[in-house]
Amino acid sequence: MRLGVLDVGSNTIHLQIMDAHIGARPSPTTNLKVELRLTQFLNKAGSISDEGITLLHEAVAGAVAHANKNNTDEILAFATSAIRDAKNGQLIIQEISNRHHIDLQILTGDEEARMTFLAVRRWLGWSAGKILVLDIGGGSLEIASGIDEGPEATLSLPLGAARLTRDFLSGDPYSLKDVKFLESFVEHKLDEKLSVNLRSHDAHHFVATSKTFRTLARLSGHWFNENPKYLEIANLEAMTQKLAIMSEKERANLPGVSASRAQQIVAGAIVARSVMNILDIDRVEICPWALREGIVLRRLDWLHV
């Protein structure tokens, strides 16, 4: 069957169409991505503005049209932290579902962590042993650890790269004072919220997903000749300092860093470095599968029951 996975995220509205059936690897066919940083449309009351809602409807309409044009059997639509945390999030979900004839669901942070964990487990297989998965999105950070297909422990925190950039970083280049304050904030939040189970994870394999980690790994390969399938904490430490003193234009000129990613990669690097340090992780492997693949795999599991 042909499934369309519509991810209404904090940074982008991303439709990924996959051919999938039970027992086979999901095969991507086509995708449509619209950059729409919903966190930039939050007003002081914590609601997404009318302008943001209008742009969101336009993006979703385009995605649904693309799915229909490509003979998609079913659209699996979900929203993550930007809408999940917005004061008018439930109303927006209802309007989108009614207007575009889809069933848009809000994923909780725990569900997001679980779906991503499932995708990583299926990608790596059982031989990876106990795994710990890190995922930095635009609005939130997810952590999950376990030995089975479902994690034993999960954590979702509002430490996404776009959110932190909006709330803490200004100027071009960013001021050293702002960067230091953000570093302290992230470290304090992790120290406060990390559970005993995650702190004593005793994992065998450390994995990272998401565009932020992939971008950082590519930069590590460029600057330190490291295999871009991995990211080492020593290189990340050096990279974070280099990125923080660059202008946005200088970051955008780096290989693998898009113009849109250049603004928030500093915050992403700070979160990545902080969480790896506090969990005593020297190196993570970059997994190409993440939340969207997890959604497809779970849907196929349900069809099989």
| Residues 267, 211 share a domain | yes
Q: Give me the CATH number covering residue 99.
A: 3.30.420.40
Q: Is residue 301 part of a domain?
A: no
| Residues 96, 119 share a domain | no
| Residues 264, 231 share a domain | yes
| Residues 187, 130 share a domain | yes
| Residues 243, 223 share a domain | yes
Last-in-domain residue among 54, 89, 106: 106
Rounded Cα–Cα distance for residues 176 and 297 (Å): 43
Our count of domains for the chain comes to: 2
What is the model's pLDDT at position 259?
87
pTM attached to this predicted model: 0.95
What is the model's pLDDT at position 24?
85
Tell me the pLDDT of the chain (305 aa) as tens digits: 999 999 999 999 999 999 998 888 899 999 999 999 898 899 989 999 999 999 999 999 999 999 999 999 999 999 999 999 999 999 999 999 999 999 999 999 999 999 999 999 999 999 999 999 999 999 999 999 999 999 999 999 999 999 999 999 999 999 999 999 999 999 999 999 999 989 988 998 999 999 999 999 999 999 999 999 999 999 999 999 999 999 999 999 999 898 889 999 999 999 999 999 999 999 999 999 999 999 999 999 887 65
| Residues 95, 146 share a domain | no
Q: Is residue 267 part of a domain?
A: yes
Q: Is residue 297 part of a domain?
A: no
Report phi then psi at 12, rounded to 5: -140, 160
Is residue 118 classed exposed, middle or buried when 0-12, 13-18 and 19+ CB atoms within 10 A define those classes?
Answer: buried
Check: CB of residue 143 under 8 Å from CB of residue 134. Answer: yes
Provide the angle, in degrees to the nearest 10, between the axes of the packed helices 89-100 and 50-69: 40
| Residues 281, 206 share a domain | yes
- Which distant-in-sequence residues (6+ apart) come within 8 Å of 53 by Cβ? 41, 92, 95
| Residues 178, 72 share a domain | no
Q: Is residue 294 part of a domain?
A: no
Q: Is residue 87 part of a domain?
A: yes
| Residues 228, 193 share a domain | yes
Q: Is residue 148 part of a domain?
A: yes
Last-in-domain residue among 81, 106, 131: 106
What is the domain extent for residue 143? 110-286
What is the model's pLDDT at position 304?
66
| Residues 160, 63 share a domain | no
Q: Give me the CATH number covering residue 118.
A: 3.30.420.150
| Residues 168, 73 share a domain | no
Rounded Cα–Cα distance for residues 79 and 93 (Å): 8
Q: Is residue 247 part of a domain?
A: yes
Q: Is residue 303 part of a domain?
A: no
| Residues 127, 101 share a domain | no
CA distances, 30 to each of 19, 53, 74 (Å): 10, 26, 15
